Structure 1
Amino acid sequence: MMMGLCPLLLIFMLGSCLTQPNQAPDNPRYTHFLDQHSDPNPHRRDDRYCYDTMRERNMTSPCKDINTFIHGTRNNIKAVCEDKNGEPYGTNFIISKAPFQVTICKHHGGSSRPPCKYRATAGFRYIVISCEHGWPVHLAKTVVKSKSAGH
């Protein structure tokens, strides 16, 4: 009796390990979004950070003019697509209810060919994103809300 249960138990345990409730779908747009904009634990947030991270993520051939890295967990960014941390913004976008720590990397210099030179601006901003089936797929912009705007 015990020998018959062992294979079933093994299959059940493997299946439960492989299926995670918050696992990302096979969505190339979501994967691309994460690659371009997600960095939950940056070691620094200066010009060198921009140069290294943009190069590591293949955004320097040609040099991308501007890119924003969001320093929040994937779950916190995904929550913007839901009522947990997002609200409608404009026609097709959602804005975060809370600001995220971000680093904005802006290209400066004459050539769009490597080596690319970037200036980093670090701060806290609200993110405006597009979502597809509950997953972030496009960062439209970041904004600073003033206290007088009621937020």
Structure 2
Amino acid sequence: MYFKGAGPVLFALLAIAFIVETYAADYKTFLEHHYDGPKSNVGKNYCDTMMQRRGMTKPNCKPVNSFVHTTKNNLKGVCGKGGKAIANGLRRSIKQFSVTTCKHQGGSTRPPCKYRENKSNRFIDVRCAGNLPVHYDQGHI
């Protein structure tokens, strides 16, 4: 049976809207978990504060998380000319970014969470949906 009239067009528009909204939600989560540009001035316990602020300490302490200190446009750029395709659908940045990685210090995985900080310049690997980064995989010095 063939669709007649505006049915196929409406279906296509709804499908596109759903996909775009899904990408936008994944990008928003990516930013909440991995973007901090410029690096927030939160005192000497950067990781403890940022992990709590960004909701990664409840109900359990997230073991590891990285924050990239750059502009949103630079992050998006990795999904385009600012990155190159590598294995498993990931893209690696062609330039290094300032990145702070927070690692849980061990002990209880329940709050209060205590983290160690490691800041360095690294190439970053991300998964993209269209032109938006939606997953941070890792960084390479």
Normalised to the residue count of structure 2, the TM-score between the two structures is 0.80
Which blocks of at least 5 consecutive residues in structure 1 are unaligned?
Answer: 1-24, 145-151
Q: How does 1:129-144 map to 2 (within 5 A)?
A: 129-144=126-141
For 1:82-129, what per-residue CA distance to the aligned partner results, in whole angstroms no more than 9, with x for missing partners? Answer: 02x100111301000000000000001310011101000000000000
The AA in structure 1 aligned to 2:33 is Q
2:65 maps to 67
Q: 1:70/1:46 Cα in 2 relative to 1: closer, same or farther (>3 Å)?
A: farther
Contact 1:80–1:86 (Cα < 8 Å) also in 2: yes
Partner Cα distance (1:95, 1:102) in 2: 14
2:88 maps to 91
Number of residue pairs aligned between Structure 1 and Structure 2: 119
Which blocks of at least 5 consecutive residues in structure 2 are unaligned?
Answer: 1-19
For 1:50-80, what per-residue CA distance to the aligned partner results, in whole angstroms no more than 9, with x for missing partners? Answer: 0000000110010000000000100000000
Deviates more, 1:132-141 or 1:40-49: 40-49
Partner Cα distance (1:46, 1:129) in 2: 28
Partner Cα distance (2:28, 2:100) in 1: 19
Partner Cα distance (1:42, 1:28) in 2: 23
Contact 1:45–1:103 (Cα < 8 Å) also in 2: no
Partner Cα distance (1:68, 1:45) in 2: 16
1:103 maps to 100
Residue from 47, 70, 75 that aligns with 1:50: 47
Q: 1:28/1:72 Cα in 2 relative to 1: closer, same or farther (>3 Å)?
A: same
Normalised to the residue count of structure 1, the TM-score between the two structures is 0.75
SS across alignment from 2:95: coil
Task: Give the % identical residues.
Answer: 39
Aligned-residue offset at 1:42: 1.6
